[in-house]
Amino acid sequence: MRFKNKVAVVLGASAEGGTGWSIAEAFAAEGAKVVVGARRIEPLRVLADKIGGLAVACDGGVPEQIEAMAAKAREAYGPIDVAVNSAARPILGTIAEASLKGIQKSLDVNYIGHIFFIRYMAAVMKDGGAITIISSSSSTQPVLTFYPYACAKAATESLIRYAALEFGPRGIRVNSVVPGPIDTPLAGGMFDAPEVQAAFRREIPLGRVAQPSDIAEAVVRLAEIGYLTGVNVPVSGGLHLNRVPHEEDIRSARDAQSR
- Which of 77, 147, 149, 227 is the catalytic position? 149
How far, in Å, CA of 73 to CA of 182, rounded?
A: 28
What stretch of H or E contains 233? strand 232-235
User: Quick one: 128 exposed, middle or buried, by C-beta within 10 A (0-12, 13-18, 19+)?
Assistant: exposed
Residue 194 CB coordination number (10 Å): 12
How far, in Å, CA of 184 to CA of 210, rounded?
A: 9
Nearest to 125 by CA among 117, 134, 133, 114: 117
What stretch of H or E contains 104? helix 100-107
In whole angstroms, how far apart are CA 23 and each of 20, 79, 133, 155? 5, 20, 12, 23
- Specify whether 147 is catalytic: no
Q: Which residue numbers are catalytic?
A: 149
